[in-house]
Amino acid sequence: MQSMTQTIKNVLTTGAIYSIPPYQRHYEWGPELWHNLIHDVLIAGTNKDTEPSHWLGILLLSQDESTRFPDDDSRTAYSVIDGQQRLVTLLIWLSALVHHAEDTKEQITFRLENLCKLVPQKADQAALDVVMKKLWLDKKYQPLHESRVLQAYHYFRFALWLGEDALLDEQPIKVPKFKLDTPMIEYWTKYVSSNRGRDLVRGAPVKVKELIEATRSRLSIHTLIHEPRIDEPQAIIFDTLNGHRFPLEPLDHVRNSLFVRLPAVASEKIYDDFWEKAEQGLLATSIAMQKPGINFLYDYLISKGEKKRQGTINKNRGALHFNRMTRHLKDDKLAEFIKNDLTVAMSIWPVAIDKKRSVNIQGVEVGYPAAALELVSSIRELSSGPFNPLVLHYLVAYFNGLLDSQQLISNLFLIENYLVRQLLTLNPLSPLRSKVMDIAGNLDGRFDEISLKEALSKTWVTDEEILTGVEKRSFYDELGPRALGAVFRGIEIQLSGSGANKFRVSKNEYTIEHIYPRKAGRWEDNLTNWKSSPKRVAPFIDTLGNLTVVTQEHNSKVGNSQLRQKQEHPTVIGASAPLRLHEDWLSAKKWTEVEIQERTLRLIGYALKRWPSLELS
């Protein structure tokens, strides 16, 4: 069997013809794999010229002896035994790049006519022709829009139109359905401005020429050419490559790549003394619907500032990013890294995500200050994950003696302050992940407060940004109960001081309540008496001024009741002190759009005192 590693440029050369046998699967790739290809291209584009090309996988071929070109020895025909999904996707991606350049008037020299010929299965042939000939908006081909081939092309075109931020996002983007009765650009623009596309933001235009070059010259595939006369049957080879294997998790790849580089005796001792317990504790951490190993690796890489060196970190490619980060480590330096860096972070990560309150490393139990743990919980409630890397960064520094208790608390409070300000302007969480990567990259291993302030200042939200239009800002659905609870708790601490009731929004304790309820049938007479109406109050139902924190029992008993009934019902749990943030609405004589807007401004005022503007001096 012939074997060689080739760049995509050579695999898709003009002289090759690839035929996918009819018994192979139809094209089936989906958004996650499409986006992974984009990330492969981005990773390849950041490689230095001296580094090897980025490997995509294996292409198993069998030379097609039945197809001959007597007048052209430069053309060779192959049947594709394995790798057809990747081959089709590369052609779709290159087509999307060329057509995007045509539509944006970017000058490129590459032409699709210079690619190989691909003959897919009959079910995919028409769709691939439509893609490569740029006929996707022709209404007569609308029945093909359900084809995965067309969907892949649409995904790539939409991502390229969105720009660099969409390509850098570690998760697949949301794509609108085909709609041919509206010009596509106009339709995409409306979609991004709608609630369905609210997490999508148009970024800087992509550079098609660079993306094509990275795809063709910096990506490679290992090609195996089956020779029927001397090799085993194709089916046996295919089963060997694609048989029932137990897939390795990213942390498995990391472990293997580290320990295989150590001498046998040293690797066994380090594994027994350091790795095994750290990994067991990490994998025992329970996270709903998520794998702790994948999440830790993602947070750890970001915390080390790898965005600065590798570009956007892809959660699904953690092992690859990790290998790039550590490939220069050898012998004693590698051993020290495992013992004093990686396994320490593995042990501390459950604290960073609010699952543990102390760590035990090498038999030594280390606790964290109560105020620091309260801030860790608050940050987790506010963001549910994006800020884990920064929290991990400072918890590790505290464990290593690089920060004292007060410095740790101050840095965590700065992170909470930054995060609350982002949320008060309703900045979506997806770009926040990218911002955290940039912040960690700017820190680049530093732990002092000045460095953190400088890193945060680049995307700090000002008081003016928060106050502009805040009276009509709908917080309830955008932030959710846990994040709102954390904001209200901070306001309560500002109002009540050190003795404040540090309530939690949870199943058996407090919940977020609409003062004027969403189901407000019982309020109509009151509103009439107060010279208002449901129509006038409706725009302010989900704003901060109409929201408060009450017990679950209060919500179930009088949640949809009139103002007086809500005011008279107890709002405390056991012996807990009444909340100061209730004082204004509990004493109100009426509750209309006027009172709601006034309370919004009061609460925001308290919030800005609790989380003040950044001072760099």
Can you state the percent helix, strand and coil of the chain, rounding each to 5?
55, 10, 35
pLDDT tens string 460-477 = 999 999 999 999 999 998
DSSP code per residue over 547-608: EEEEEHHHHHHHTTS-HHHHHHS----TTPPPPGGGHHHHT-S--SHHHHHHHHHHHHHHHH
- pLDDT class for 159, splitting at 50, 70, 90? very high
What are the structural domain ranges in the chain?
2-242, 250-460, 470-610
Helix segments in 3-83, DSSP class H? 8-11, 31-46
Q: How many CA atoms lie within 13 A of 202 on its CB side?
A: 11
Distance CA 474, CA 49 (A): 50
Which stretch of DSSP H or E encloses residue 167?
A: helix 164-168
Distance CA 408, CA 411 (A): 5
Query: Which region among 8-12, 183-187, 452-456 has the lowest average model confidence (pLDDT)?
Result: 183-187
Distance CA 277, CA 194 (A): 48
Where does residue 495 rank: exposed (0-12), middle (13-18), buried (19+ CB within 10 A)? middle
Residue 598 has pLDDT above 50, yes or no: yes
Distance CA 341, CA 338 (A): 6
* CA geometry: angle 512, 516, 520, nearest 5 deg: 115
Which residues, at least 6 apart from 147, have a Cβ–Cβ distance to it below 8 Å? Answer: 27, 124, 127
Distance CA 316, CA 453 (A): 30
- pLDDT class for 225, splitting at 50, 70, 90? confident
pLDDT tens string 62-105 = 876 544 433 444 557 888 888 899 999 999 999 999 999 999 99
pLDDT tens string 368-407 = 999 999 999 999 999 988 999 999 999 999 999 999 999 9
Percent of all residues in the chain with a pLDDT value above 70, rounded to a whole number: 92
Cβ-contact 545, 474 below 8 angstroms: no
pLDDT tens string 333-371 = 999 999 999 999 999 999 999 999 999 998 888 999 999
Distance CA 106, CA 528 (A): 61
pLDDT on residue 412: 98
pLDDT on residue 334: 95
Instruction: Please give the torsion angle defined by the CA atoms of residues 206, 207, 212 and 218, in that order, rounded to the nearest 10 degrees.
Output: -100
**Reported pTM:** 0.71
Query: Which region among 104-108, 314-318, 443-447, 573-577 has the lowest average model confidence (pLDDT)?
Result: 573-577
Mean pLDDT over 521-535 rounds to 93
Residue 522 has pLDDT above 80, yes or no: yes
Distance CA 521, CA 313 (A): 50
